A and B are shown apart, each in its own frame.
Chain A
Amino acid sequence: EAQVTQNPRYLITVTGKKLTVTCSQNMNHEYMSWYRQDPGLGLRQIYYSMNVEVTDKGDVPEGYKVSRKEKRNFPLILESPSPNQTSLYFCASSRTRDEQFFGPGTRLTVL
C-alpha cells in the first residue's frame, strides 16, 4: 500500500529536549516536505527536499532542521523545542512538486 508514515503520532515533551519526528514514504517520490498546521493559520511549509542531499527552507524554517540521506526518509529535527513549536506536523511526498501525499500527522506539545 502506497503511504507516508510518521512517528511518533503524538508527543508531549519539555522545552529544550531535542526530538526527531521520522517520516518515510514507499512511493519512490523525489519530493518531500514538512508542514505545520496551526489554528487560524493554515498549513505552512517548514522545509522541503527535491532529492537525496538536497533540502531547502520553506516559509517557517526557524527552529527546525531536516536531512535527506535516503530517498524514502525525511526526518524533522527540533534541536531545542520551545512552546511556540506546539503544533500539528505533516510530512508529505510527491512525484512532482505538486499533488502531494500527506502522512497522518504528528501532534506535538512542548511544555
Chain B
Amino acid sequence: RKEVEQDPGPFNVPEGATVAFNCTYSNSASQSFFWYRQDCRKEPKLLMSVYSSGNEDGRFTAQLNRASQYISLLIRDSKLSDSATYLCVVRGGGSYIPTFGRGTSLIVHP
C-alpha cells in the first residue's frame, strides 16, 4: 500500500460547483498534514495546513479523520482559477521527510 494515496482525477466540474478530494495515508503516527496547489509546470504552493479541528480559509475547508486515516479538501463555489493539481502532504512524527501524494487534478470549466 502506498504511503499517501490520492485519486488522480481529473475532476471536471462547472464553475460554482462544490468539489471534494480525499487523501489517505498509511502511517498512523503521522502528525502533520497539508494541502498544496500546483499549477502546470510551476512550483507547488502551500494552500493550507490541516489541523485536528479542521481548517477553513474562504471557500476552502480541510478536514482530518485520524480514525480512518484520511484528510479531505472541500472547495465551494469553484472558480476557473481553481483549476490545478492539488497535492496532499503527510509527515510522520519525528520524521523530517514529508511524503507527497501524486496529486489530484481539478478542471473547472465555464
Chain A residues at the B interface, C-beta cutoff of 8 Å:
31, 35, 40-45, 48, 50, 56, 58-59, 88, 90, 97-105
Complex contacts, B102 vs chain A, CB 8 Å:
40-42
Complex contacts, B9 vs chain A, CB 8 Å:
none
Q: Which residue of B lies closest to A88 (CB)?
A: B41
Evaluate contact between A58 and B44: CB separation under 8 angstroms.
no
Evaluate contact between B96 and A56: CB separation under 8 angstroms.
yes
Given A90-B44, A99-B49, A105-B43, are A48 and B100 neighbors across the interface (CB < 8 Å)? no
Evaluate contact between A98 and B97: CB separation under 8 angstroms.
no
Interface residues of B in 11-43 (CB under 8 A from A): 32, 34, 41-43
Evaluate contact between B42 and A104: CB separation under 8 angstroms.
yes
Complex contacts, A56 vs chain B, CB 8 Å:
96
Complex contacts, A45 vs chain B, CB 8 Å:
97-98
Given A43-B87, A97-B91, A98-B91, are A58 and B97 neighbors across the interface (CB < 8 Å)? yes
Chain B residues at the A interface, C-beta cutoff of 8 Å:
32, 34, 41-46, 49, 87, 91, 96-98, 100-103
Since A42-B87, A43-B87, A45-B98 are in contact, a sample of 6 more A-B pairs with Cβ atoms closer than 8 Å, ordered by chain A residue number, is A35-B100, A42-B101, A42-B102, A48-B96, A100-B46, A104-B42
The majority secondary structure among interface residues of chain A is strand
Q: Complex: how many Å from CA A101 to CA B87?
A: 14
Q: Complex: how many Å from CA A11 to CA B44?
A: 20
Evaluate contact between B43 and A59: CB separation under 8 angstroms.
no
User: What are 16 A-to-B residue pairs whose CB atoms are below 8 Å?
Assistant: A31-B96, A42-B101, A43-B87, A45-B97, A45-B98, A48-B96, A48-B97, A56-B96, A59-B97, A88-B41, A97-B98, A98-B34, A100-B98, A102-B45, A105-B41, A105-B42
